[in-house]
């Protein structure tokens, strides 16, 4: 019997073969802004580990290529990813000339493509395993712990992105907390205002089209313009309303960014509240009325719980979108990880761009997985209860 090929495996094997043998594994640069020189896996790693990595990649790619049991595929992808993560750190140490603090080693295209290929394999296995929401969050936590351990152990310290971090450790955490505050704070404000507004729109039909149209139009204003346009009114408020300046309201900085994110967040929250409430079955409402529930009891006891998963979906959209948009706040002095992105673009220092972009993507990704899991759990709970 000839072993059968896995279609996705063919893709994974092809791109990992290219990445392992034809693309550079790491880039060596004499300092942080000069163009780099490419290093292959064999050149970038000590004599024994280079071939070892190649063997791991070839074996993992072969496991992906043929139809193999899911457990084996899971192990292959995890081992390959772990080996890549560990060895890129070793490449950083190996390639840095002793005592040289200017040289920069960064992962090159081959490394990223290999990571992509085996993440694809892992994602495929996880999708086919059809994990429960809690298990998915568990996988996320394990991955975060593994990355955290690698960071704490210092094995990545010779990579250029961490050298950029070492130069800015304090401001990194300050900007990071600003980023999270902006994204979460504006979400919270949007929920506090958007939920009642959504309920109002649901109850008063005449309001609905008008409110949703206005919110829709706000969404079409490009984010950098909206950020900029809020500078003037907030500056005026700061200058003319007593106490406003003391509260931190200023023309530039965090205040306009916060208000802009809040305005963008309103539409998904309000629209999903309206859709969720409209989707409550008539029978449920009639039964509640028949039981003699007051309007308020009906809202909190029947309509709201039934609409909750839909409203949560809106909150998920907002949170992921806000984490991304908060990067733009840096353009108007609002802080956040965007500071590093735009500084890096300005200095053509790509490692600095990565220092801002990687945590942003990681945050958005984690937020999406966690909220998806919560949405699925509330939706299935609801179904079990009504069934």
Partner 1 sequence: MKAWLPSLLRLAVVVLLVAFVTNPGWFEPLLKPLTENNAPVIYNQGSLLTLTLLHLRTVLIATVAATIVAVALAILVTRPAGAEFLPLSRSLVNIGQTFPPVAVLALAVPAVGFGEKPTLIALFLYGLLPIFENALTGLTTLPASVMEAARGAGMTGWQRLTKVELPLSAPIILGGIRLSVVISLATATIGSTVAAKTLGEVIIAGLLSNNLAFILQGGLIVAALAVLIYDGLSAIERYTVRRMGREAE
* List of residues contacting partner 1 (CB under 8 A): 6-8, 120, 123-124, 126-128, 217, 219-229, 231-232, 320, 323-325, 327-328, 331-332, 338, 341-342, 344-345, 350, 353-354, 356-357, 360-361, 364-365, 367-368, 372
Q: Distance between CA 97 and CA 92 in Å, rounded?
A: 10
Q: Cα-atom radius of gyration of the chain, to the nearest Å?
A: 26
User: What's the closest the beta carbon of residue 222 comes to partner 1, in angstroms?
Assistant: 4
What is the closest distance, in whole angstroms, from the C-beta atom of residue 115 to partner 1 in the complex? 13
Smallest separation (angstroms) from partner 1 to the CB of 175: 14
DSSP 34-96: SPPEEE-HHHHS-TTHHHHHHHHHHHHHHHHHB---HHHHHHHHHHHHHHHHHHHHHHHHHHS
* Shortest Cβ 47–partner 1 spacing (Å): 30
Q: Cβ closer to partner 1: 34 or 192?
A: 34
Q: Which is closer to partner 1, CB of 6 or CB of 158?
A: 6
Min dist. Cβ of residue 377 to partner 1 (A): 17
In terms of Cα–Cα distance, which of 54, 73, 174 is closest to 125? 73
Which is nearer to partner 1, 228 or 305 (by Cβ)?
228
Minimum CB separation of residue 350 from partner 1 in Å reads 4
Name every residue whose Cβ is closer than 8 Å to that of residue 182 and which is 6 or more positions away in sequence: 254, 257, 258, 261, 322, 326, 329, 334, 335, 336
Kindly give, in sequence order, each residue whose CB lies less than 8 Å from that of residue 67, ignoring residues fewer than 6 positions away. Answer: 3, 4, 5, 6, 9
Give me 337's structure tokens.
Answer: 């990880």
Q: How far is the CB of 296 from partner 1 (least distance, A)?
A: 31
To 10 degrees, the CA torsion angle through 286, 290, 291, 292?
110
Give the Cβ contact number of residue 9 at 10 Å.
21
* C-beta of 197 vs 350, nearer to partner 1: 350
As measured in angstroms, the least distance from the Cβ of 75 to partner 1 is: 19
Q: Kindly state the smallest distance separating residue 286's Cβ from partner 1, in Å.
A: 26
CA distance 17 to 23: 9
Instruction: For partner 1, give the closer residue by CB, 25 or 227.
Output: 227
CB of residue 334 to partner 1, shortest distance in Å: 12
**Which two structure tokens, joined as six digits, stand for 75?**
């192990």
123 vs 174, which CB is nearer to partner 1?
123
Closest to partner 1 by CB, 204 or 229: 229
d(CA 182, CA 261): 8
User: In the chain, where does DSSP find H-type helix?
Assistant: 7-21, 41-44, 49-65, 70-95, 109-129, 133-153, 160-167, 169-203, 205-220, 223-229, 231-240, 254-278, 282-290, 295-298, 304-325, 338-347, 350-386
Nearer to partner 1, 128 or 383 (CB): 128
Closer by beta carbon to partner 1, 94 or else 227: 227
The CA distance from 238 to 257, in Å, is: 15
Report which of 209, 100, 71 is spatially closest to residue 160, judged by C-alpha positions. 100
Q: Which is nearer to partner 1, 21 or 342 (CB)?
A: 342
């Amino acid at each position: 019997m000839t072993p059968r090929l896995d279609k996705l495996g063919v893709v994974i094997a092809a791109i990992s073969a290219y990445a392992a043998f034809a693309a550079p594994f790491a880039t060596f640069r004499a300092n942080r802004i000069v163009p780099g020189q490419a290093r292959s896996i064999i050149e970038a790693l000590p004599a024994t580990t280079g071939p070892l990595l190649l063997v791991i990649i070839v074996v993992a790619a072969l496991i992906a290529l043929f139809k193999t049991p899911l457990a084996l595929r899971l192990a292959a992808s995890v081992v390959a990813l772990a080996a890549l993560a560990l060895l890129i750190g070793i490449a950083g140490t190996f390639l840095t000339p002793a005592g040289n603090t200017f040289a920069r080693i960064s992962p090159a295209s081959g490394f990223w493509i290999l990571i992509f290929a085996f993440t694809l394999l892992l994602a495929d296995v996880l999708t086919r395993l059809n994990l429960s929401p809690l298990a998915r969050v568990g996988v996320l936590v394990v991955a975060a712990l593994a990355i955290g351990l690698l960071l704490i152990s210092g094995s990545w310290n010779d990579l250029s992105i961490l050298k950029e971090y070492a130069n800015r450790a304090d401001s990194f955490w300050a900007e990071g907390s600003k980023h999270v505050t902006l994204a979460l704070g504006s979400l919270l404000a949007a929920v506090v205002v958007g939920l009642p507004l959504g309920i109002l729109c649901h109850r008063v039909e005449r309001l609905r089209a008008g409110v949703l149209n206005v919110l829709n139009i706000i969404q079409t204003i490009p984010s950098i313009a909206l950020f900029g346009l809020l500078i003037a009114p907030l500056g005026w408020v700061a200058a003319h309303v007593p106490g406003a300046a003391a509260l931190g309201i200023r023309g530039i900085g965090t205040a306009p960014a916060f208000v802009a994110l809040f305005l963008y967040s309103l539409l998904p929250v309000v629209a999903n509240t309206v859709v969720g409430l409209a989707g409550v079955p008539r029978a449920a409402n009639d039964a509640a009325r028949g039981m003699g529930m007051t309007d308020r009891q009906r809202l909190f006891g029947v309509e709201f719980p039934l609409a909750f998963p839909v409203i949560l979906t809106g909150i998920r959209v907002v949170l992921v979108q806000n984490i991304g948009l908060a990067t733009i706040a840096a353009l108007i002095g609002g802080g956040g990880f965007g500071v590093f992105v735009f500084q890096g673009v300005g200095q053509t220092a790509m490692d600095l761009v990565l220092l801002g972009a990687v945590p942003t993507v990681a945050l958005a990704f984690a937020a999406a997985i966690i909220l998806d899991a919560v949405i699925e759990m509330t939706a299935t709970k609801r179904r079990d209860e009504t069934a």
